[in-house]
Structure 1
Amino acid sequence: MSENQSLKEKTAKGLFWGGFSNGIQQLLNLLFGIFLARLLTPADYGMVGMLAIFSLIASSIQESGFTAALVNKKEVTHNDYNAVFWFNAAISLSLYLLLFLCAPLIADFYKTPELIPLARYSFIGFFIASLGISHSAYLLRNLMVKQRALSSVIGLTVSGITGVTLAYFGFSYWGIATQSIVYVAVNTACYWHFTRWRPSLQFSFTPIKEMFGFSGKLLVTNVFNHINNNLFSVILGKFYTEKEVGYYNQANKWCGMGQLFISGMINGVAQPVLTKVSDDLERQKRVFRKMLRFTAFVSFPAMLGLGIVSEELITITITDKWYSSISIMQILCISGAFTPIAYLYQQLIISKGKSRIYMWNTIALGIILLSGVLLVHAHGIYAMLAVYVSTNILWLLTWHYFVWQEIGLKLRHALIDILPYAVIAATVMVITYYSTRSIENIYLRLASKIVLAAALYVAAMWGSRSVTFKESIQYFIKKKPHEP
């Protein structure tokens, strides 16, 4: 088998397993999320949501961008994985002790004393996660998407059952916190099971110094990414109440499930595949454009479709006590349709070794988002959402500029790859919404929206002779991918 054919098959299998895995994961998230949302209150979700940004930033610091550094490195040895393992473990333990001591300050910031014990308990999760970073990088580098998928599914199942059980017995937000810790622990254990590599007590931090020039920039970038993604939880927690944080977090969770399904599909293949073809600029451009078309083909109908069924979905599954989350979710789904495309742009930049560009671009976006949201926070959550969504969408032009510099992809060609799917999906959703709005039965209306939107989109793809659509169908039927 030729190297080109091997890479094509690995890419296709990676996309398949990534899609299958994330589909199962989001179904599990949906199932357990429904039970939890029915048992818990918006304030319960708000309590955990206010701590999310601290855990995520700490996780980024302890991971320090070494996953991407290991994946992008031409040759990786046992010493590289071993140095990363012990460095991550040491840093995460130090961070946990620091956050343990800072818990009263966090509680004081939000004026919520109950956060002190909750913070000290919740933060255990990122230390456990540090023990699986090298193993995760090993699986990712070797395109072992199936093993990563199984790890996530097992972790979600065990942690979901744990969270629902605790919520049922009245542990409120402690159940959500425990669910997160159990997920990380099980996921890490599965990574160890599926990976042949094991750490040894003899180690040197010399590889850390060699990789830190690249990974250090990703560290800063990831911290700002988490800040960007959790602005609302912090600002709402500071200026509003736990209830508002809970409504936003619930809407963001549902929107996030859709985004993760799409981003997760390409997460296991984009960076390693783009890195492998980085020496051939024209081939890399072809591979990237094909990934771009596939992402747009899936992202726009999925996220815009999620937006138009949000009212029925939330009302049926988690009851109308979460009704205030619906309009927030609809707005977030618009931004969410573009998020996987931005993610793909970022993976291309990282695959070219330009972590510095990735870092400063993300920092600039974070500063603009924070400034804009703070500027309008007094006008309410919808003004903040408008700034947040529009800024994220427009920032795609900035990401594209750097991709153009790296591989020469013209904006006109990118728009040709993206816009047809965006226009068709938006048109389909408008027709679907107005065709079904007179249906009074909420269950029948939900089913009608899903069936009609899917039928119209498939018909539009078939009628427009979409190559991406035909290749996707052919792969599932014949399991034989085409040349990218």
Structure 2
Amino acid sequence: MAETLKEKTAKGLFWGAMNNGAMQVIGLVFGIVLGRLLSPSDYGMIAMITVFSLIANALQNSGFITAITNIKEPTDNDYNSVFWFNISVGGFLYLVLFLCAPLIAGYYHTPALVPLCRYAFLSLLFSSLCTAQSAYLFKHMMVKQRAQSGIIATLFSSVVGVIMAFCGMSYWALATQTIVYSIVNTALFWHYSPWRPSLRFDFEPIRRMFKFSCKLLASTITTHINNNVLNILLGHYFTAHDTGNYNQASQWNFKAYSVIQGMVDSVAQPVLVDLREQPGRQLEALRKLIRFTSFISFPLMLGFGMVAREFIVLAITEKWLASAFLLQILCVSGAIIPMSQLMSSLVVSNGKSGTYFGVTFALGVVQILTMILIWHWGIRTMVIAYVLLNIIWLFVWQYFSRRLIGYRVWMFLKDILPFALAALAVMTATYFATQSIHNLWLLLLCRILMAVVLYYLVMRIAGAAILKECMAFVKKKMGKK
């Protein structure tokens, strides 16, 4: 049983890596093209309304994907109830947002947001059609199928977005890209999931799951607000151009850290749920996931921060230079966010959705109050404060992990510090060793190559067990081919 779970976890991580790696490569290519074709104000327009779409999607999902995953053996009736509930809620929420569009535009003092809101929020209707299918794929750890759906949907929607941007359709291109993604992803989830709905309307499973899922719902909404708090406040206090510059930095930061977060998220909760009756094994599994995450996250994000200026200028031109410094700051939080997510998954997997909500809500309150108090000092100060708060909350999650399964501070630091210090030393050495290079293309290439080689050598000399395991698994997969 243990070997089966281990193999499923390894395969899940592999396909999670394939999925997120491919999607981020696609996002990189098309993000560069769109960044060159569109202006900061175009991105700012979309950034100002993104949080409303995210909250609506959270309300429509209502935490039932996670709730079903936490059920040992969900029935057909469980999936069917979720399916019809989500369609009903999705339609209702779109109607509410359609009517509230003038209020959203009034908050941002931008009348053009009214038609944009009513168009962009259509994605909610399409995504509501696949929540049950998504829950089925997630519960059964069908990571490969989810990966293929995401890659195809991202590629297709990105092509549509670029064509529209090239035709001069500004922020409408970004809105359409999201809608097309929802349509294609929904169609593919239906294709890969063998489960099909029936016309039986029984909402008893919804009532049964809601006690657990409602706390996750509230937590998800709070998380979306936390992640977009700067977009919300910048759009109100500053201009669409300023919001767009921050949003560009935030998007690139997200593209980078979601490579590792998406990979680990695809297996973390199902694995931790399977082991929740065995705290010792659950602790061992969490620590291994934390080490694996640290092994990749710290060099990836600190390295990205090191080359942020060169990357921004070369990829999307100097018109986005203001976002480069913001990206460098955000990369610090990007390095630790996947670890916070892992420990929050542990809390949820142990049925503590109330704790999950409380910790997330507290972060949201502190962030909003902090940003309102310091916005007079400018965007950079707000971004620095945002990063510091995320670092503090990493240890808040660790505290609750200790209470649940005995994951003590010294264990946590032992798991992350070797990789954090090694990555910091490598990036520092690389930065100063390449300072004399003035050609931006050569500088970018040299920094990337030097950092990769140095980090690999440090891990090899240190005899990092996680490096050996990763290489052994990759060789095994290549050997099968």
TM bucket normalised to smaller: over 0.9
1:129-149 per-position Cα deviation (integer Å, ceiling 9, x unaligned)? 111111111001101000000
How far is 1:479 from its partner? 3.8
How far is 1:324 from its partner? 0.5
Q: Does 1:328 find its partner at 2:326?
A: yes
Name the SS of the counterpart of 1:324 in structure 2.
helix
How far is 1:203 from its partner? 2.1
Q: For residue 143 of structure 1, what is the aligned residue in structure 2?
A: 141
Q: For residue 157 of structure 1, what is the aligned residue in structure 2?
A: 155
Q: For residue 281 of structure 2, what is the aligned residue in structure 1?
A: 283
User: Of the candidates 260, 264, 267, which is equivalent to residue 266 of structure 1?
Assistant: 264
Unaligned segments of structure 2, at least 5 residues: none
Name the SS of the counterpart of 1:313 in structure 2.
helix
User: Of the candidates 213, 237, 240, which is equivalent to residue 239 of structure 1?
Assistant: 237
Q: For residue 215 of structure 1, what is the aligned residue in structure 2?
A: 213
Q: For residue 16 of structure 1, what is the aligned residue in structure 2?
A: 14
Q: Distance in 1 between matches of 2:395 and 2:145?
A: 35
Aligned 1:170-189 pairs, distance under 5 A: 170-189=168-187
Aligned 1:440-479 pairs, distance under 5 A: 440-479=438-477
Name the SS of the counterpart of 1:323 in structure 2.
helix
1:321-343 per-position Cα deviation (integer Å, ceiling 9, x unaligned)? 10000000000000110000000
Aligned 1:217-366 pairs, distance under 5 A: 217-366=215-364
**Amino acid corresponding to residue 77 of structure 2 in structure 1:** N
Q: Does 1:438 find its partner at 2:441?
A: no
1:160-180 per-position Cα deviation (integer Å, ceiling 9, x unaligned)? 000000000111100000000
How far is 1:385 from its partner? 1.1
Q: For residue 396 of structure 1, what is the aligned residue in structure 2?
A: 394
User: Of the candidates 76, 79, 84, which is equivalent to residue 77 of structure 2?
Assistant: 79
Name the SS of the counterpart of 2:200 in structure 1.
coil
Contact 1:274–1:284, Cα closer than 8 Å, also in 2: yes
How far is 1:8 from its partner? 0.7
Q: Distance in 2 between matches of 1:124 and 1:422?
A: 42
How far is 1:212 from its partner? 0.4
**Amino acid corresponding to residue 153 of structure 1 in structure 2:** I
How far is 1:371 from its partner? 0.6
How far is 1:312 from its partner? 1.2
Aligned 1:30-45 pairs, distance under 5 A: 30-45=28-43
**Amino acid corresponding to residue 465 of structure 1 in structure 2:** G
1:99-122 per-position Cα deviation (integer Å, ceiling 9, x unaligned)? 100101111111100000000000
**Amino acid corresponding to residue 387 of structure 1 in structure 2:** A
How far is 1:477 from its partner? 1.0
1:369-399 per-position Cα deviation (integer Å, ceiling 9, x unaligned)? 1111111001001111121110110111111
Q: Distance in 1 between matches of 2:54 and 2:123?
A: 10
Q: Distance in 2 between matches of 1:478 and 1:108?
A: 57
How far is 1:204 from its partner? 0.3
Q: Distance in 2 between matches of 1:34 and 1:152?
A: 19
Contact 1:43–1:245, Cα closer than 8 Å, also in 2: yes
Identity of aligned residues (%): 48
Q: Does 1:426 find its partner at 2:427?
A: no
How far is 1:250 from its partner? 0.5
How far is 1:265 from its partner? 0.6
Q: Distance in 2 between matches of 1:233 and 1:352?
A: 33
Name the SS of the counterpart of 1:473 in structure 2.
helix
1:22-62 per-position Cα deviation (integer Å, ceiling 9, x unaligned)? 11100000111111111110000000110001111111111
Contact 1:69–1:215, Cα closer than 8 Å, also in 2: yes
**Amino acid corresponding to residue 41 of structure 2 in structure 1:** A
Contact 1:305–1:429, Cα closer than 8 Å, also in 2: yes
Q: Distance in 1 between matches of 2:411 and 2:36?
A: 46
Contact 1:143–1:268, Cα closer than 8 Å, also in 2: yes
User: Of the candidates 189, 192, 197, which is equivalent to residue 191 of structure 1?
Assistant: 189
How far is 1:4 from its partner? 1.2
How far is 1:305 from its partner? 0.7
Q: Distance in 2 between matches of 1:432 and 1:233?
A: 33
Q: Distance in 1 between matches of 2:198 and 2:257?
A: 38
Name the SS of the counterpart of 2:169 in structure 1.
coil
The worse-fitting range, judged by mean Cα deviation, of 123-132 and 320-329 is 123-132
Q: For residue 369 of structure 2, what is the aligned residue in structure 1?
A: 371
1:218-266 per-position Cα deviation (integer Å, ceiling 9, x unaligned)? 0000000000000111111001000001001100110000111010111
Name the SS of the counterpart of 1:439 in structure 2.
coil
Q: Distance in 1 between matches of 2:73 and 2:149?
A: 26
Q: For residue 114 of structure 2, what is the aligned residue in structure 1?
A: 116
User: Of the candidates 390, 402, 408, which is equivalent to residue 410 of structure 1?
Assistant: 408
1:290-341 per-position Cα deviation (integer Å, ceiling 9, x unaligned)? 0010010010000111111111111111111100000000000001100000
**Amino acid corresponding to residue 321 of structure 2 in structure 1:** Y
**Amino acid corresponding to residue 358 of structure 2 in structure 1:** W
Contact 1:125–1:181, Cα closer than 8 Å, also in 2: yes
Q: Does 1:49 find its partner at 2:36?
A: no
**Amino acid corresponding to residue 365 of structure 1 in structure 2:** L
1:40-96 per-position Cα deviation (integer Å, ceiling 9, x unaligned)? 100000001100011111111111100000111112011100100111110111010
Q: Distance in 1 between matches of 2:62 and 2:199?
A: 21
Q: Distance in 1 between matches of 2:306 and 2:395?
A: 27
Q: For residue 378 of structure 2, what is the aligned residue in structure 1?
A: 380
Contact 1:83–1:205, Cα closer than 8 Å, also in 2: yes
Aligned residues: 479
How far is 1:461 from its partner? 0.3
1:435-473 per-position Cα deviation (integer Å, ceiling 9, x unaligned)? 111101111100000000001100110111100111111
How far is 1:182 from its partner? 0.3
Q: Which runs of 4+ in 1 moved over 3 A?
A: none
Q: Distance in 1 between matches of 2:132 and 2:458?
A: 44
TM-score of the two chains, using structure 1 as the length reference: 0.98
Q: Distance in 2 between matches of 1:211 and 1:69?
A: 6
How far is 1:478 from its partner? 2.3
Contact 1:79–1:203, Cα closer than 8 Å, also in 2: no
**Amino acid corresponding to residue 79 of structure 2 in structure 1:** Y
Q: Distance in 1 between matches of 2:168 and 2:380?
A: 33
Q: Distance in 2 between matches of 1:174 and 1:247?
A: 18
